[in-house]
Structure 1
Amino acid sequence: MKSWLKQSRASGLDDLELADFSDTGRSVRTLQRFDEGEKILTIPHGVLWTVKHAYADPFLGPALLSTRPPLSVDDTLATYILFVRSCGSGYDGLRSHVAALPASYTSSVFFAEAELEVCAGTSLYTTTKQLDRQIEDDYKALVERLFRRHQELFPRDKFTIEDYKWALCTVWSRAMDFKLPDGDSTRLLAPFADMLNHSPEAKQCHVYDGFSGNLSVLAGKNYGSGDQLFINYGPLPNNRLLRLYGFVVPGNRNESYDLQKQKLWLSSGLDSTSTISLTLTDPLPRSVLRYLRIQRLNESDLAIIAAHQSDAAVEKISDSNEVEVLGFLIESIFDLLDGFGTQLVKLEEQLVEGFYSPGGNAWSAAHVSLGEQRVLRLTRKTTEDLLATVESGSGNERGLLSAPPQCAKCEKVSVQLMRCGRCNKVTYCGRACQVAHYKEHKAMCQATASGIGSERN
């Protein structure tokens, strides 16, 4: 593939080479020093895998154009990859890239049932089960709409459901998304650049030129000669890393638990398609409390809200409503935690004792379960603290539509906040939010602080 890319005038290849690394597998190594921000590699637009190029193919293009409604972006790219893989020497360049792709993937949709059961109870488990069913349905539709109508282009033995699943995972794990100058977006696969592995320590370093159509890779940090070259997929939790890319990051600080079609929503009468992520940095998003407050409004609450012409979705309605909401949330989180196949303490012991083969599918699933349980426990603790705060003041109702403690900048709900030392009126979750909010808060803060000074005098 590297020699073909040189013929395609990709620049920077002389300074790089493919290599095998003990911890990450096949990737790219630098052959010289690069400073952060320096351009390392440019892939010309003519060799990128895009929907536009699929439609321009003289054989595949007419078949795609005749399909109505059009295929999705992922289905188009997956079909394009399988089509080129099935063709002969007429696609030498593109076929060399396909030949360099992994023969198999470790995304969660390829897990054996016993491996997936290790993370039973997680949002990944639920999403993977849904994906399995969706892939089957999408493949059947693809057969009816495209493959069966153009059997000369799509021989059934090379376009099986396993082939389709492999091609989809190729797209999910290797595609890049970019905004175009006209506001639209594009998804593409870039030969050689798609060999780079993820590192949270590297800055985002791939750049798409919407005018030339070329893709460039910049140094996301300083590199010495012989270092492995990395890109950053973004601040992703392990459940998404494993679902899309087939790996996890132990101790991932971006862990989350996705509330989707879970008992919490269903038992509250809410839209079961709603998805809200609980994270280590924001374990109780305001939107969760907003939804639950609305669901538990009584006639008295509605009358008071109407009189104040306020929005019930914004702040706390009353102490009684808040106690009911927080109590329900705590009970629901207990139920969610009870639904995990292996509880947190046991899972931690198993990982320490080497119960799961390091790097294996079950080991990765265990880390996802570990991370999601930690997030849910933090959410439960935050909710319990809020409930204790409300109950301690319930004998003296604190007023309609007062909010639980939250950061004035990011609106994170918490009871562990720092208060502005000058006006003593607003709270922040940390120094960064206080600094970022200062321009907006400055006038009110100075006025309030002046008033306080006058009172003291």
Structure 2
Amino acid sequence: MAEVSRIFHSTLIPTFSTLPHLTLNSPRSQFQPRRSTIHCSISTTGDATRIAISWGCDVDSLENAAALQKWLSESGLPPQKMAIERVEVGERGLVALKNIRKGEKLLFVPPSLFITADSEWSCPEAGDVLKQSSVPDWPLLATYLISEASLMKSSRWSNYISALPQQPYSLLTRAELDRYLEASQIRERAVERVNNVTGTYNDLRLRIFTKYPDLFPEEVFNMETFKWSFGILFSRLVRLPSMEGRVALVPWADMLNHSCEVETFLDYDKSSQGVVFTTDRPYQPGEQVFISYGKKSNGELLLSYGFVPREGTNPRDSVELLLSLNKSDKCYKEKMEALRKHGLSASQCFPLQITGWPLELMAYAYLAVSPPSMSRQFDEMAAAASNKTTSKKDIKYHEIEEEALQFILDTCESSLSKYTRFLQESGSMDLDMTSPKQLNRKLFLKQLAVDLCTSERRILFRSQYIFEVVNKNWIDLYNESTRLE
């Protein structure tokens, strides 16, 4: 399952929402484009034209993977102690060919086999236009990948691109998000990601593609192909700290699957002059070798990499609980001012884990239920609810403790009802499709959604139980102190 997604450390790639839309105001260039053959199939269904991506492969294709391995070896990849095989965790993965010791450095992919913003374009005129327009690395690499993919065998990277998934799961459509992630708060971040990709493509199209149609024909450089290329980048692009944080696609290395039990990650090793990782455990011949994609929740792993670990296997799993101010609150305006001052909004998400929750959550709940008589404490509560300040977080307001806990419990109950309803209705989803590939995609997404909702609901149930116990203990303590008085 993890084959549909690859990335290698929590600090490697920033959230895509931080990528600004492009501002490209360079004058039109006088480049004479080199003519090249474009490979792209177009099919018409009714009055709608659908552009089919004709590169990549099914995620379990060993034939394409074997061709990739052969090409890499011929292109300078040193002999490896691993090979690509079908595996239980992920459709394809790297399996040990020999005994591998704990602490051993593996991989050794040389920089000549990286794809970076400085890589040579098969169509150099297109690359020059983008670079002169100061296009950032992410959209530059997305465009590069499409340009090379469209050239098929005439591109140096044809064997690599042929081994990439034709339908990455790391960037879902709005329809898929509405259908499969309606119960999870991770949906909002997924929608933001789709909107950022759409906005970035529209900027490129407006400022560059329409001005150079010979270099960037719309039948190749369109929304669908950009969603494919960004889906590849989200799941496979790696930031290399030892190369001054440069981002790169690293063929072969991106065949490694993730394990929640593994701590090791990829980086550039200056001594061996290649991308490596250091094993944190031994492997026997035939065992699958893993790395870590970072300490992420199941929702984050789905959002970036297109898979969900088995329930209970991810110690970093969490669910986001959305707390909101009541608009009918007499102090709504004053509370909003306090929240904005500390970088918060009227609706704020807080992560719940099986092991607990952040102190900021309770501070926000205090603010949400506090009466007008506590207006002088609004700023203190808002500061404690923000993770952007160093203010004291563990604040206590015993007079509104019960109301704050009940507010959180009510929010948990509301969230749980969404998960329960989705899981009950998931069995009746209409998946009737004429295309076997589309049917397989929908079945897979449905299973991912069910797995994610099951794991997030489990955390919510556990958190709700603990909040109920805390609330009951507080009430008992309060009643006891009142009786003694």
User: How does the TM-score come out when normalised to structure 2?
Assistant: 0.68
SS state at 1:156 partner: coil
Give the C-alpha shift of residue 332 in structure 1: 1.7
CA distance change for structure 1 residues 390 and 42 in 2, over 3 Å: closer, same or farther? same
1:374 equivalent in alignment to 2:374: no
Q: Deviations over 1:267-304 (max 9, x none)?
A: 6855157543222222x210111223245555654558
Counterpart of 2:359 (choices 274, 286, 289) is 286
Q: Aligned residue for 1:148?
A: 210
Amino acid of the residue matched to residue 332 of structure 1? T
Q: Deviations over 1:60-114 (max 9, x none)?
A: 442222325x33x43222122112212366632x23211221111233615864x
Q: Which amino acid aligns with 1:107?
A: S
Displacement of 1:367: 0.8
Residues 295 and 112 (structure 1), Cα distance of their counterparts in 2 relative to 1, 3 Å cut: closer
Q: Does 2:281 correspond to 1:215?
A: no
Does the 8 Å contact 1:12/1:40 carry over to 2? no
Which sits farther off after the overlay, 190-199 or 26-35? 26-35
Question: 1:427 matched to which residue of 2?
Answer: none
Counterpart of 2:169 in structure 1: which amino acid?
A: T
Greater length-normalized contact order (CA 8 Å, ≥ 6 residues apart) = 2
The 5-angstrom pairing of residues 6-21 of structure 1 reads: 6-13=73-80, 15-21=81-87
Structure 1 residue 132, shift from structure 2 partner: 3.4
C-alpha distance in 2, partners of 1:244/1:54? 27
Q: Does 2:170 correspond to 1:107?
A: yes
The amino acid across from 1:330 in the alignment is L
Aligned to 1:83: 147
Letter in 2 for 1:279: Q
In structure 1, the residue matched to 2:159 is 96
Counterparts of residues 178-189 of structure 1 (less than 5 Å): 178-180=240-242, 185-189=245-249
How big is the shift at 1:170? 0.6
Deviation digits for residues 176-222 of structure 1 (CA, Å, limit 9, x no counterpart)? 223247xx523221111111112223331423236886311333421
**SS, match of residue 41 in structure 1:** strand
Contact 1:19 1:29 (8 Å CA) reproduced = yes
Q: Provide the C-alpha distance between the structure 2 equivalents of 1:305 and 1:137, rounded to a whole number of angstroms.
A: 37
Aligned amino acid, residue 281 of structure 1:
T
The answer as to whether partners of 2:102 and 2:282 remain within 8 angstroms in 1 is: yes
Q: SS of the residue aligned with 1:49?
A: coil
Q: Say if 2:69 and 2:252, in contact at 8 Å, map to a contact too.
A: yes
CA–CA separation in structure 1 for the residues paired with 2:456 and 2:149: 38
360 and 303 in structure 1: CA distance in 2 versus 1, 3 angstrom threshold = closer
Per-residue CA deviation, residues 144-196 of structure 1 (Å, 9 max, x unaligned), is 13322332322211122111111111111112223247xx5232211111111
Identify which range, 203-212 or 51-60, moves more after superposition: 51-60
Q: Does the aligned pair in 2 maintain the 1:35–1:219 contact within 8 Å?
A: yes
Distance in 1 (CA, whole Å) between partners of 2:155 and 2:379 is: 67
Alignment pair present for 1:276 and 2:360: no
Q: Report the 3-state secondary structure (helix = DSSP H, G, I; strand = E; otherwise coil) of the residue aligned with 2:186.
A: helix
Q: Measure the CA separation in 2 of the matches of 1:41 and 1:229.
A: 11
The structure 2 residue matched to 1:197, chosen from 230, 254, 257, is 257
C-alpha separation in 2, matches of 1:326 and 1:54:
59
Q: 2:350·2:361 contact (CA, 8 Å) conserved in 1?
A: yes
Can you give the 5+ residue segments of structure 2 that lack an aligned partner in the other structure? Answer: 1-67, 337-343, 385-390, 429-438
Number of the residue aligned with 2:114: 48
User: For residue 70 of structure 2, what is the aligned residue in structure 1?
Assistant: 3
Q: Which has the larger radius of gyration?
A: 1
Q: How is 1:125-164 mapped onto 2 (pairs within 5 angstroms)? A: 125-164=187-226
Question: Residue in 1 aligned with 2:96?
Answer: 30
Which residue number corresponds to residue 342 of structure 1? 421
* Cα distance change on mapping 1:218 and 1:347 into 2, 3 Å: farther
Alignment partners' CA distance in 1, 2:178 and 2:373: 47
Retained in 2: the 8 A contact 1:50–1:188? yes
Partner residue of 1:320?
399
How do 1:379-418 residues align onto structure 2 when only pairs under 5 Å count? 379-394=463-478
Question: Does the Cα contact within 8 Å between 2:324 and 2:348 map onto a contact in 1?
Answer: no
Q: Which amino acid aligns with 2:355?
A: T
Give the AA of the match of 1:380.
Q
Alpha-carbon contact 1:47-1:191 (below 8 Å) kept: yes
Judged with a 3 Å threshold, the aligned counterparts in structure 2 of structure 1 residues 108 and 2 are, in CA distance, closer, same or farther, namely closer
Paired residues of 1:54 and 1:80 also in contact (CA < 8 A): no
Structure 2 distance, partners of 1:168, 1:299, is 49
2:239 counterpart SS class? strand
**More displaced stretch, 240-249 vs 316-325:** 316-325
Q: Distance in 1 between matches of 2:414 and 2:420?
A: 12
| Number of matched pairs | 380
Distance 1:159 1:340, change over 3 A: same
Q: In the alignment, residue 106 of structure 1 is paired with which amino acid?
A: Y
Gap change, CA 1:273 and 1:135, over 3 Å in 2: farther
Identity of matched residues, %:
22
CA distance in structure 1 between the aligned counterparts of 2:303 and 2:94, rounded to whole angstroms: 23
Question: Measured at CA, do residues 23 and 332 of structure 1 come closer, stay the same or move farther in structure 2, by a change above 3 Å?
Answer: closer
Counterpart CA distance in 2 for 1:80 and 1:265 is: 45
Q: Which residue in the other structure is 2:300 paired with? A: 240
Amino acid at match of 1:137: G
Question: Which TM-score applies when normalising by structure 1?
Answer: 0.71
Equivalent pair of 1:78/1:168 in contact (CA under 8 Å): yes
| Aligned equivalents of 1:286, 1:239: Cα separation in 2 | 22
Q: 1:257 to 1:303 in 2, by over 3 A?
A: closer
